[in-house]
Structures are given as structure tokens and as C-alpha cells.
Chain A
Amino acid sequence: GAGVSQSPSNKVTEKGKDVELRCDPISGHTALYWYRQSLGQGLEFLIYFQGNSAPDKSGLPSDRFSAERTGGSVSTLTIQRTQQEDSAVYLCASSLATSGRIQETQYFGPGTRLLVL
């Protein structure tokens, strides 16, 4: 079946502009994650959505970053007033519901490569 898809695959923007990154999870997956992969920081967790629960935003680096998930499916990560340090690959992952001892596998999309000039 179809995997996690992300768009755009590449995005070049100017410092100070806003950008939106989209993630389409695997159908039926109720958990959705955003991670950031950068040269200096490696792979970092940003935010996690699980069903109708309040998202875990503990990894968002600043209030310029926000994310939403509409209808329990598609998610959009928004970065406002982009800075050069926001340049990175933004990875989305999805999984079946995870709770307690159950650790479902996270399936990753190909990522969006963001370059802020």
C-alpha cells in the first residue's frame, strides 16, 4: 500500500517568509510525528499527534513553529518568519496507535528539504 507522503520534496525560501510543509500519513494510522534532521543537531523530535488527544508539542524549537492535523489525517507543519537555522530536512512519520507497552513501528516519509536563504 501507499506509504507516508510529504510535499513539497524541496522548498527554497527567503529569510522571514512563512512556509507550510504537508504530510499524508498511511491510511488508518492514528499517530503522526514530525522530526527534523539537520547537520548540527541530528534527528530531533518536533511534535506528535495521537487521535483526538492534545498533541505533544514538547519538541518544537520556538513559537514560530506550529502544526495541525485536520480530520485525524493530513498534517501541516508551519514555520513562520523562517530563519537560516531552520534549514533542514523535515521528516514525517506515522504509526498505528501507540500506548503503554505497545510500541508500534513508525513509518517515515521521504522528507521535505527546506533551504532558507
Chain B
Amino acid sequence: AQSVTQLGSHVSVSEGALVLLRCNYSSSVPPYLFWYVQYPNQGLQLLLKYTSAATLVKGINGFEAEFKKSETSFHLTKPSAHMSDAAEYFCAVNGWGAQKLVFGQGTRLTINP
């Protein structure tokens, strides 16, 4: 079985500041991990995914995430926040042989000017 915990339902940062969105997972099989972004009234868009290759994964819009097995974490970061990054972010997991994604509760990111 798999589960995801996103720490912080709401994160607020200033424009230009570091963005850090936390995700911890639990999986009984080697995990595959994903970050999706959802803008208002839109579907989910894939930011990046980890599928057992490099542990540091680079995604779109300057985001990256690092898979840390020892910490069971897959935190999302961006060095410098932009106003357009304001959205809801979801961490998700599935594993070898699994198809459905298990999502965290989401983190709403607000960017302050």
C-alpha cells in the first residue's frame, strides 16, 4: 500500500524567495513519485516525476525535487518564486505494478509581491 503526506496545506513565500513544498511517502514497493500543479479551474499538470533513475529530478518552470529514500521524502523546490507559481501542488505516489496514483492532500502556494 502507498500513502503520501504533504506537510503544510498552505505555504506563503515572497516573490524571489525559495519555494519548498514538503512531501513524505510510504510505499510497500519501490515507489514512483510525482509532483503535479493545478491552477484554478484547471486539471493537473505534471511538474516532474521520479522513476528510479537520478535521485535529483528537474521539472518544468524551474522546479526540482530530490528523492531521499532514507527520509522517505520527495520535497519540491524552486530557488526563486514567481507570481505565476501561485497554484495548488500535489505530490503523488504509485509503485511497481501499480497503476493508480495516490495523492497527498495538496499544498496551496501563495506568492506575495
Contacts and interface: CB of A to CB of B under 8 A. Distances in A.
Given A33-B100, A106-B101, A108-B36, 19 more contacts: A33-B99, A42-B104, A42-B105, A43-B92, A44-B103, A45-B100, A45-B102, A48-B99, A56-B100, A58-B100, A100-B96, A101-B96, A103-B49, A103-B94, A105-B49, A107-B46, A108-B45, A110-B42, A110-B43
Nearest to B96: A101
Interface string A1-44: 00010000000000000000000000000010101000000111
Interface of B: 32, 36, 41-46, 49, 51-52, 90, 92, 94, 96-97, 99-106
Given A43-B90, A103-B49, A108 B99 contact: no
B103 A42 contact: yes
A4 B99 contact: no
